[in-house]
Amino acid sequence: MPKVSTPKISKASAAKVEHFRLSLLQEADVMFSSFIPLKITLLDALLQDEAFSITDTTSLRSPLEIPIPDPPVPEDEEMETDENDEDEKKKKKKAPKCGFIKSNEKILTVVNKVKPEIIALRETILTVSCWIQHLIPKIEDGNDFGVAIQEKILERITAVKTKVDGFQANINKYFSERGDAVAKASKETHVMDYRTLVHEKDEAIYSDLRVIVLDIRGFYVSLTH
């Protein structure tokens, strides 16, 4: 059976790879000794922050500057045969225009606190994943058990990365769906359910954002074990 040729790299390239490896090991050491414990402490404090301690979610509702049309008057409900009267009735029933509709400032405050934590965790995951891959010994060294354990850890980290990517997707989905609900509420001004839907979206994302912070903290804690 022919031998598998090993790719050759220059001494200069090998030195750069070794420098990267040592830098990675040093970065991982700092991460586990100081960065991650500090992150856990900061996330604990964040969860105690006033913005994350709202128990009455109805207080999150922001006023929708969407005019509510007047109820129909009896004469509007009568059947009209004259074309001019019909045009006049349409003008009366036309929904009032609404102006600029702001986002929910309370939710934006929470989102702006959570997004940097998502980014920081994603970068931490990439660093830890790369660090573990450099630690995995060659199978031919006879350490199959150690390899299996580290590969299991990598699988777990990959699963967490997928979940973290979903955090940002959920935030994007909230803005998209809330925007649709606001658009419908401003168009169908006589349908109160669309206004209620906007408030429901705000209350739901607030709960989701708090859970995201809890998950991020939990992952950092698991890395210390």
In a domain, 154, yes or no: yes
**What confidence tier does 92 reach under pLDDT thresholds 50, 70, 90?**
very low
Q: What is the mean pLDDT of the chain?
A: 82
Residue 1 pLDDT: 46
Provide mean pLDDT across the span 3-32. Answer: 82
Number of domains in the chain: 1
Whether residue 216 lies inside any domain: the answer is: yes
Most confident of 11-20, 67-76, 81-90, 187-196: 187-196
25: Cβ contacts below 8 Å, ≥ 6 apart: 131, 134
In a domain, residue 52? The reply is yes
Region of 66 (left: φ > 0; alpha: ψ -120 to 50; beta: rest) is beta
Confidence of residue 170 (pLDDT cuts 50, 70, 90): very high
Domain that holds residue 216: 12-57+99-223
With contact defined as beta carbons under 8 Å apart, do 129 and 223 qualify?
no
How confident is the model over 178-193, as a mean pLDDT? 90
In a domain? residue 7? no
Per-residue pLDDT, 211: 96
What pLDDT score was predicted for residue 3? 57
Is the confidence at residue 122, as pLDDT, over 60?
yes
For residue 144, the domain's CATH number is 1.20.120.180
DSSP assignment of 95-128 equals PPP-------HHHHHHHHHHHHHHHHHHHHHHHH
Cβ atoms 174, 201 nearer than 8 A: yes
